[in-house]
A = this chain, B = another copy of it.
Amino acid sequence: MNNELSTPPTEASSRWLNLSQQNYIHQVSIDCVIFGYEDKQIKVLIPKINFKGDFWAIPSGFVYQDEDVDQAAERILRERTSLRDIYLEQFRVFGKADRSGKEFMNRLIELNLDKVTEKQEGKEIKGDYDWFTKRFISIGYYALVDISKVIPQKSFIDESIGWYTIHELPDMIMDHNQIVEKALKALRSDLDEKLIAFNLLPETFTMKEVQELYEAIFNKTFVRTNFQKMILDLNVLERLEKKFTGAANKAPFLYKFKK
């Protein structure tokens, strides 16, 4: 399933004009890798930019002067997923001096001059794209969401937004493919000590589903008995009583995460 939304692009050029006047910290951005889990696959929520040329970019945003960096990440995630209280981890800063690709940004803007230009009282005013052609230091966050609860939202610059499996990601702008790769690596290394994978599952689940989730994240198979022992030894799961139906009950046990 690809949750593509395809409402018409919003009228948004004036937002380009005011970007640098919005009291954001300059040259700092936040990039969010939103992981979901569906059809035994780890997926990433990725918007396609409403620009000529095929441009994909992970959800990004900026930090207001009076806003904690973590709050900014939460705001951006809320805007894109419609969810509050998302599990998120700041995992790495992307700080190469040449990562923003001035050349690329100029090309993207030249291709789409109509989008960043506005007529005011008969005069053409170019949007404030100087903002974008400066170098950005980006703070990477990854989020783990229950995919069934997400209602993906486009931002004003997006044409569509959809879920992509980690094995079939689009070619994204700048270093965004690398950011997703690093996020996945951080997720794997965080898993053992933090038990965070359960954020990707619905409220209740079977042991088989937990194993499939871990297999999707690590991209390898586990021996069932070993895996179950490892998970149960963590002592974080609560087994639910089966409902008595009278008939023989072959359904597997359901578990939930102990809060």
Contacts and interface: CB of A to CB of B under 8 A. Distances in A.
Interface residues of chain A: helix, strand, loop or mixed (majority): mixed
A112 interface: no
Contacts of A67: 97
Given A68-B95, A68-B97, A70-B95, A63 B137 contact: yes
A133 interface: no
Contacts of A95: 63, 68-70, 72, 139
A66 interface: yes
A189 interface: yes
Contact of A26 (B27, B92, B93): B27
Interface in A61-109: 63, 65-72, 90, 92-93, 95-97
A207 B238 CA distance: 43
A65 B96 CA distance: 10
A132 to B, nearest CB: 16
7 contacts: A28-B137, A68-B96, A68-B97, A69-B93, A69-B96, A93-B139, A95-B139
Given A27-B28, A69-B93, A69-B137, 5 more contacts: A25-B137, A28-B28, A68-B95, A93-B139, A95-B139
A25 B90 CA distance: 21
A135 interface: yes
B66 A97 contact: yes
A103 B135 CA distance: 30
Rank and list the top 9 A-B pairs by shortest CB-CB distance, nearest first. Answer: A69-B95, A68-B96, A68-B97, A25-B27, A93-B139, A66-B97, A67-B97, A68-B95, A90-B93
Interface string A172-191: 00000000000000000100
A90 to B, nearest CB: 6
Contacts of A25: 27, 135, 137
Interface in A187-239: 189, 193
